[in-house]
Structure 1
């Protein structure tokens, strides 16, 4: 059991996060701290968001004289600034969407050049030749690639078993770590990792999202090995248990911590497999009676991934430009080459009060982490570079500074 931290600023940070979680269901993404602290917050009257914003402001001032090491103060300062923004928004304070994103994630965003999407469309068309509209051809491919819902759980368990062996050998894993899966429906997200501490995770899969076989390796690496689950295990073992970093027992939505976690998870497949994951996956799925073209999957998935930035464009259009949701649905259909149903599912996520800015974590997180991995020092392997993401409390500003120094 994790006890309440001795450092006052760490205790106050945990209390602030838990109290915000009282106001917004899902705001606390992960908690494996002292149960007594959680019970204390649960027994309190419903918090006042304006008071929480003042608490955050006071905590920012207290950090300088906290006595914590600089890396911990830097981490907490970035986190608390994001929490202050969330509390102010809950209290009714106005802010622009782009300023909100910068406060949450320490990144600046803007609309993409749609010409880049058009170039990707041409490359996809070369992989999927034939008559008819490109979106229709891609959707037909996705239909052929779609895994029956009853095979979703078995497929992910089979892939995770193989990935666990690879990750354990390359990055190391606690001997008693475990991941369980459950399949649900009617959720605004595709999959969700709930880390419960003690090196255990529950991964919930939204069957309504229509998961394709080609995307399952990304899902399994993102949520489990070496993505979210592996990162939580590494930080619990190293930072919390060995290092006493009590602030790491909580993960909070709409913070720099989330952008780093999602960026790390988005690059997980690259870190553990590199080339060859398509045929490897096809071999695994054959064992459960599923058939996929592994070579085509490995060529096509990176291209469709480059279209995902249109989701961030959609968030900007909705919340910064005031664009009509139906126009945004059409934008997503055109540039992501998806059905109207799929586009509306994305808009549902983007208009959820909690998740409206969260797509930035995937887009900008992947860009930042991908660039940082590519800019690793001569002689350093991808495994060594990626291990730092798992082990250390790195921030977007840390990676940006490294990239600036390397340029």
Structure 2
């Protein structure tokens, strides 16, 4: 692949797309985490660094670009119309992020709507208590349920000397399964690193030209199911594949320069995180069997315990919306930091250490948390409504590939 997009038939949107890319790069000068990836013209990045526009100027430029995009007539071509809406909503999220950086206060739901074009449902305490009752029946015994789950999970920690072989095996299998359904360009691939002192569990740093750096944080013990989760989420068919397909089909083939930059706090992340989480189910519909027959023996764990472990993890994942409620309460000022941490321990069944790490991350990513759970559920519903179900795996892969190769955003999933 070349480092620049090929010439393509000019579009009225091209000039707006260039302004959008330069706007995102300029905002990135005020927040190191904002530009998650960039592989466009180096001169544009240098220009953003040299000029370092003020937040006031960026607010003005973002608002003007959004107005001008909204005023354009809707393209007659359905796929180009998706591009138009993508630019409108992505620019709107840039505008919202700049307003937040300038000190504007938004409640959790208002912020998620402004940044991610989505608003998470509210779940009551009773919803989580019902799920916990099911877990309580699976793991009876003395002591609080959170402590029983923590004791149970300790049986399934991957020893540090086994991490590399277990993760590489899972990633290789995820890649093999993905390539059977999604063609990827020759030479695509990733580097894998184990790191410490991070607030996240795993991260994909997409570097352009179909290459990624995948990092796994080993600060806390890593449970065996995370090997499948991270292999699919960060790699195949998750973040790595999503970025490769956008670069290949939209940037390189169509010359749509807006796909040379990834603004992290934007609607694109809703699709990225949601599809990456749903991609776990797409790639590993047989996860219990694969864990029991391959990863458990490889990690030196007892395969006879695999089925119960999977049932506990599947139920625990349904508690994920508790993370939204804790973050909503914390950011809206209804919960102190300590209360939010205790709420996570009570309803998400997190250990105090994991809950503290989660709240530390919430300070940084704020309403981004909805992208993981609501994003996953909306992507799943979008694909399953069109026939991509467990009973039709080929159709599911087809729809998943089409989603990853398109400029669709949350509003297009409804």
Instruction: Tell me the TM-score normalised to structure 1 length.
Output: 0.92
Asked if 1 retains the 8 angstrom alpha-carbon contact of 2:181 and 2:398, the reply is: no
Could you tell me how far apart the structure 1 residues matched to 2:162 and 2:296 are?
A: 12
Asked if 1 retains the 8 angstrom alpha-carbon contact of 2:39 and 2:261, the reply is: yes
Indicate which of 370, 395, 403 corresponds to 2:380: 370
Q: How many positions carry a matched residue from both structures? A: 396
Q: Per-residue deviation at 1:109?
A: 2.9
Structure 2 unaligned regions, length at least 5: none
SS in 2 for 1:251: strand
1:354-404 deviation line (CA, Å, top 9, x unaligned): x1121111122112112222212487821122122211111111111xxxx
SS in 1 for 2:185: coil
Indicate which of 340, 349, 358 corresponds to 1:337: 349
Task: Report the equivalent of 2:323.
Answer: 311
Task: Report the equivalent of 1:390.
Answer: 404
SS in 2 for 1:9: helix
SS in 1 for 2:252: helix
Q: Per-residue deviation at 1:279?
A: 2.4
Deviates more, 1:242-251 or 1:13-22: 242-251
Indicate which of 13, 16, 22 corresponds to 2:20: 13
Task: Report the equivalent of 2:339.
Answer: 327
Could you tell me how far apart the structure 2 residues matched to 1:209 and 1:310 are?
A: 21
Indicate which of 112, 116, 124 corresponds to 1:105: 116
Could you tell me how far apart the structure 1 residues matched to 2:48 and 2:235 are?
A: 30
Given the alignment of the two structures, is residue 278 of structure 1 paired with residue 288 of structure 2, yes or no?
yes
Q: State how 1:122-271 maps to structure 2 within 5 Å.
A: 122-271=133-282
Given the alignment of the two structures, is residue 358 of structure 1 paired with residue 368 of structure 2, yes or no?
yes
Q: CA RMSD in A?
A: 2.1
1:31-63 deviation line (CA, Å, top 9, x unaligned): 11111211221222x321121111011111222
Deviates more, 1:253-262 or 1:146-155: 146-155
Asked if 2 retains the 8 angstrom alpha-carbon contact of 1:191 and 1:205, the reply is: yes
Structure 1 unaligned regions, length at least 5: 401-407
Task: Report the equivalent of 2:45.
Answer: 38
Could you tell me how far apart the structure 2 residues matched to 1:248 and 1:12 are?
A: 13
Instruction: Tell me the TM-score normalised to structure 2 length.
Output: 0.90
1:172-219 deviation line (CA, Å, top 9, x unaligned): 222211111111111111111000011110011111132100222111
SS in 1 for 2:366: coil
Given the alignment of the two structures, is residue 54 of structure 1 paired with residue 54 of structure 2, yes or no?
no
Task: Report the equivalent of 1:28.
Answer: 35
- Alpha-carbon distance change, 4 to 29 in structure 1, aligned in 2, over 3 angstroms: farther
Q: State how 1:77-92 maps to structure 2 within 5 Å.
A: 77-92=88-103
